[in-house]
Amino acid sequence: MGPGKRGLFAIAVAVVCAVTVLGAPGAAFASPSSPSSPTPSPTATTAPDLTLPPSRDLEEVREKLETLYHDAAVATDAYNAAEEAAKKQSAEIVALAQKIVEGQERLAELKDRAGAAARSQYRTGGLPDEAQLMLSDDPSDFLNGAGRVLQGQRATKGLIAEVTRTQEDLEQYSADASAQWTKLEANRKAKAAAQKKVEKQIAAAEKLESQLEKAEKERLAKLQEQADQKAQTAWLDTGILDEIDGKASAAGKQAIAYATAQIGKPYVWGAEGPDSFDCSGLTSEAWKSAGQTIPRTSQEQWKQLEHVAIEDMRPGDLIIYFGDASHVALYVGDGAIIHAPRPGRTVTLAGAGTMPILAVVRPDA
């Protein structure tokens, strides 16, 4: 066995140690590629504009803040996707490392058996069959012995074949672990980049808000409330609620009960409870409480869960918002949602039409 094969056990140990050190580094987020994929947000190439409008136009400030927090939400989704992929990769690497260890132990056992067979042959003197027949006092004893020799030869061939298979398996496990390690390391950098962008966008928004006087902040909050009411009213004026009459499933009711219990808890990007949540952290945990595992991010929830028409939605379904699927909420009926809005806010009840709806998906289709 060459030096590469002898080092497999060391590789396994190194892989396990490396995974432990890295924790759960992330995988790069891949935007959906289908024709109906959500439209990705343009990547910011310049620093956010943090200056207040000369006229201190609070509506313009509100729009700037919406943009900053939206970009933070997109980066948060990328971070969450990276974290989930990293967990899977880490588990695969650990499993491969265990296979390498077990394979190395099996190979050592096979080598011991092969050595024992070689030593046994040496003790017989390695005489050809004709010589053993001539020296035998009883030909029948020789024939019995010859049968055992044939059995031994077949066993030896089987042993050699198993050694070969084990060596090939070890080499494949090693190659697979190496490939996974390469992905893990590359994706760790992608996750770090996403985190940096999230923090940058949130810091920019907070800095912009910090320039406002108390009265202006109160007026800004009122403007946001008015904008939400206007959007919700426009949505309701379409008569959509007259068409929506679906009843929640048992699992949907459980998901709603979980989400309702979280109202008032703070939004924290990347959080999935129990003390704080981001938007998809809330929806994924709500459905987990109902016994249904769904994707961690709003974009993956959009991609992987079954789509239903808005008029067919029922309480417990998830509403995906914005053209890039960067936000998600749990529909609770009567035109309302529960969601984790953005940094600085808490899990709350809101109108389902306060944001542009991209799609409705059903976790328990």
Q: Taking Cα atoms as reference points, which of 326, 329, 333 lies closest to residue 348?
A: 329
Q: Is 75 left (phi over 0), alpha (psi -120 to 50) or beta?
A: alpha
307 is catalytic: no
3-class DSSP state of 320: strand
327 is catalytic: yes
Q: Any idea what DSSP says for residue 311?
A: G
| CA–CA distance, 229 with 222 (Å, rounded to integer) | 10
Catalytic-role residue among 17, 70, 279, 307: 279
> For the CA atoms of the chain, what is the radius of gyration?
32
Question: What are the angstrom distances between the C-alpha of 115 and each of 118, 137, 150?
Answer: 5, 30, 18
Q: To which H or E segment does residue 333 belong?
A: strand 327-333
With beta carbons less than 8 A apart as the criterion, state whether 259 and 346 touch. no
3-class DSSP state of 14: helix
Q: For 194-251, give the DSSP string.
A: HHHHHHHHHHHHHHHHHTS-HHHHHHHHHHHHHHHHHHHHHHHTTTHHHH--PPPPHH
17 is catalytic: no
With beta carbons less than 8 A apart as the criterion, state whether 255 and 316 touch. yes
Catalytic-role residue among 17, 70, 307, 327: 327
Alpha-carbon dihedral of residues 202, 203, 208, 213, nearest 10 degrees? 100
My answer on whether omega of the bond before 274 falls inside 30° of 0, hence cis, is yes
Question: What are the angstrom distances between the C-alpha of 6 and each of 12, 102, 171, 174, 244?
Answer: 11, 14, 11, 12, 66
| CA–CA distance, 38 with 47 (Å, rounded to integer) | 25
Give counts: helices (H), strands (E), the chain: 10, 6
Catalytic-role residue among 17, 70, 307, 339: 339
| CA–CA distance, 264 with 243 (Å, rounded to integer) | 31
| Catalytic sites, residue numbers | 279, 327, 339
